[in-house]
Structures are given as C-alpha cells and as structure tokens.
Amino acid sequence: MTRLDQIRAAEERLLLPTYDRNPLLFVRGEGVHLIDEQGERYLDLLSGIGVNALGYGHPAIEEAIARQSRALIHTSNLYFHEGQAELALRLTEQTGLDRVFFANTGTEAWEGALKLARAHAGLLRSEGKQIGTKFLALEQSFHGRTFGSISTTFKEKYREPFGPVVPGVEFVRFNDVTDLRGKFSNEVCAILLETIQGEGGVRPLTQEFFAEARSLASSTGALLIVDEIQSGMGRTGKWCAYQHYGIQPDVTTLAKPLAGGIPIGALLCTEEVSRAIHPGMHGTTFGGGPLACAVAIAVIDAIEKDGLLKNATEVGDYFQLQLRSLAARHEAIVDVRGKGLMVAAELDSADLAKLTVAEMLKRHILINCTSDTVLRFLPPYILERTHVDTAIKALDEIFTEHAAAQSAAQSAGGHTRG
Ligand SMILES: *Cc1c(COP(=O)(O)O)cnc(C)c1O
C-alpha cells in the first residue's frame, strides 16, 4: 500500500464524506509548483482555489510566520495587538471603504455583511425611514456554506438539504436590468453581488447592471454589498474588481488570497453603515489574530514591492489572448473571459470539461471545472508567460486528440450505418 492509499483508506473511515478528492498527496510547494510524495512536480493554476497569491514557499510569508509566531499567535479580541489597525489602514486605502471587521473565512465575512445590512436597515427604520429586510441576490451566485451564505447562494444543491434556509432572499436573473428593477423596492435592505461570479463560471457583471444596482440601492438607503472574496486583493490586477467599473459599494468582503494561505476574512463598510454596530453586537474569538494580520500585511507588502498587480494584468491578458487563439483553432471552446488572473474558458460540453481537467492532471497541470462546462484558472500572482505557454500547449494537445477521436468515432459510426 502506498502512503496515499493508506491515507485515503483512513480518511474514508474517519472523515465526514464532504469531499471527492483527486488522488494526489502533496507534501510541499515551490513558486507556482506543488510537489507530491514521490517528488513529481505539478504546475498549479488553481493556487488552492485562489488563495496562494504568492505561490508556495514565498520568503515574505515564511519570515512573517516565523517572526510573529515567536512573538504572539493569539490574544483574543479582548486586548489590543499591533496588527489589526495596520492591516485595516491598508485595506481601507485599497478599497475606498472606511472601517473593517476581521473574520476567519470568506463565509464568516459574508455572514457579517448580511447581519450588518439587517442592522443598518433597523437603524434607518428607527430614524423614520421606510426600508424592509429583504435581500436581492443573483442567480448562479456563491457566497459560502454557513446558513446566511447558503441562503443567498443560488444553487439548490447547497441549500435544499439544509432547509428551511434564512427567509427573505429573492434571486435576480444575472445581468438582467429589467428583472432587477422589477424585484427592487423599499422592502429590500441590500443588493448582493459578486463583481465577477467565481463558482458561477467566472462571469463579470455588465457595467449597466452594476450601475443600476448602485443607483437603485442609493435611491432607498439599501446597501450595495459586493463579495470580492475570490476576485479581490489584486487577483484581477486591481485591489478590488469593482474598481474596474468605477463603482463604489457600501460593503465588501475579502478572504481567499488575503493572507496568502493563512485563514482570514475581512468585512469592510462605509462610515455611514458602521453606525449600525456597537460593542457586543458581533464578534469572533480568532478573527484578526496577530498571526493572520502579520502575514496579510506581509502579503500586501510583497504584492506592492514585486509589482504583482501589474504582473496579474499583463500575464492575465497574455493568458486570455493565448486562450482566444486556441479557441480560434478549436470549436470546443465557446467563450474565453475573466480579468487579470481570474480566467475561464467555457467549453461546449460538460463531459469534455471533465475530461480536460483529468487530462491536464495527467500532464501535471492543476486546473478545475466550475459550473459544469467552465475551465477555471486562478493561478498565483507570480505566474509567468512560460507557465501560460505550458498550459496552452497541453490544452492544444488535449483538444486536438479529442477532435481526432470524435471524427474517428463519427466515421466509424457512418460506416456501420452505411
Ligand atoms: C470561496 C468564496 C466564498 C466562501 O469562502 P470560504 O472561505 O470558503 O468560506 C464566498 N464568496 C465567494 C465569491 C467565494 O469565492
């Protein structure tokens, strides 16, 4: 029995069966590569689902963990430490928002945003304003796995087994301005958007839809809440993807790449919205701990020092350009989209998408498939053009082989029929 088989057998006995893992046992990483227990190297174009912004073994992260773990790992939010205000200052400057609450994960930041929206609507009502408690979320949305998050997540499979979910959520058709206008009223306390839907298939909002959501929310005092957990912290070449649109939300959430692999989440809001919160209303034991804050600050410093926003833009543009030229040669690719290093190629069949992920794995390249037919690439921000070339060459081979196999099957089929 290999080490992988032993671990797999033990997990099958001991863990809740929540994951359908790939049969790979990674033991370390270097730059954009993961290395398995047999020393085989894999090009990682997924970076732990958009988390490992600086790749693996980055000295800035190693140094911050070593230094902070010697000094202080945890104190709770009963006391001050040196990291929260400093990290909050960076994040408020980057997002254009005024105040921060630190959590541990994306879903926890999102729960905070939902609670904040309800509390803010309550405050407005106490000031004599007419505003309800309803949320408008989008079809194909994904906001996490806790109750508020699944309630505002579109796919039935995430909600239905756990019902009843939190009531008062209505889903609007993606980028459908008429549907948004029709469902918006002063019953709504917040409109919930991802600037670029991640799990939903790397789908960007249109300028028109985003602008309409902003102006509807402003017209009643409802909040525009933008989930940047996957698209934020530089992945798209700007700190937040909403900055590509020139639209400012009232609330945003960050998590995945924020501390380069150490768990952290952040909820940011305007000064006006923050009036709804007072001490004791919301909190967390671990959130915003000294270790996570120190590492997040080190990650931000490294992104700035190494020019990684520019790199994400340039290598991301190159990636999309190469995928477009691949699409011109292969009919199976029906769309290429994304921004910076949040990139997708949509295929014409779910079977082919599954096969492509498996074939890429055989070639030691890690990607995934979301929304059935969409190949998703969320590489580390340190990605170089040569890595893109490697991936494109592998995809080219896979689609060429697939097309050849299909036409062989067709002509064989033709003969039998003839
Ligand atoms: C991953 C993700 C979440 C949930 O984050 P977790 O850390 O897994 O709880 C929420 N929203 C978006 C857009 C995400 O991509």
Other C-beta atoms closer than 10 Å to the C-beta of 300 total 23
In whole angstroms, give the CA distance from residue 138 to residue 135: 10
230 shares a domain with 145 = yes
198 lines ligand 1 (CB under 6 A): yes
106 lines ligand 1 (CB under 6 A): yes
Residue 138 falls inside a structural domain: yes
Which domain range does residue 325 map to?
3-57+307-417
Confidence of residue 416 (pLDDT cuts 50, 70, 90): low
Task: Say yes or no to pLDDT of 21 above 50.
Answer: yes
Global model pTM greater than 0.75: yes
98 shares a domain with 42 = no
CB 295 within 8 A of CB 259: yes
What percent of the chain is modeled with pLDDT above 70?
Answer: 99
Task: Say yes or no to pLDDT of 268 above 70.
Answer: yes
Average pLDDT value for residue range 369-393? 98
Task: Say yes or no to pLDDT of 134 above 90.
Answer: yes
338 shares a domain with 198 = no
Residue from 287, 350, 358 nearest 103 by CA: 287
Considering 305, 330, 346, which residue would you say is the last residue of a domain?
A: 305
Residue 62 falls inside a structural domain: no
Mutate to test the pocket of ligand 1, among 143, 146, 254, 267 (most ligand atoms within 8 A of CB): 143
Residue 180 falls inside a structural domain: yes
**What pLDDT, on the 0 to 100 scale, is given for residue 413?**
79
List the CATH number of the domain containing 413: 3.90.1150.10
Among protein residues, the one whose CA lies closest to atom 10 of ligand 1: 143
State the closest ligand 1 atom to the C-alpha of 230, by its place in the atom list counted from 1.
15
Number of structural domains, the chain? 2
241 shares a domain with 149 = yes
Task: Say yes or no to pLDDT of 418 above 50.
Answer: no
385 shares a domain with 249 = no
Give the Å distance between the CA of 144 and the centre of ligand 1. 5
Task: Tell me the per-residue pLDDT of 25-40, one tens digit each, with 9 for 90 and over.
Answer: 999 999 999 999 999 9
235 lines ligand 1 (CB under 6 A): no
Considering 305, 326, 353, which residue would you say is the last residue of a domain?
A: 305
Residue 67 falls inside a structural domain: no
Mutate to test the pocket of ligand 1, among 227, 229, 236 (most ligand atoms within 8 A of CB): 229
Give the Å distance between the CA of 58 and the centre of ligand 1. 23
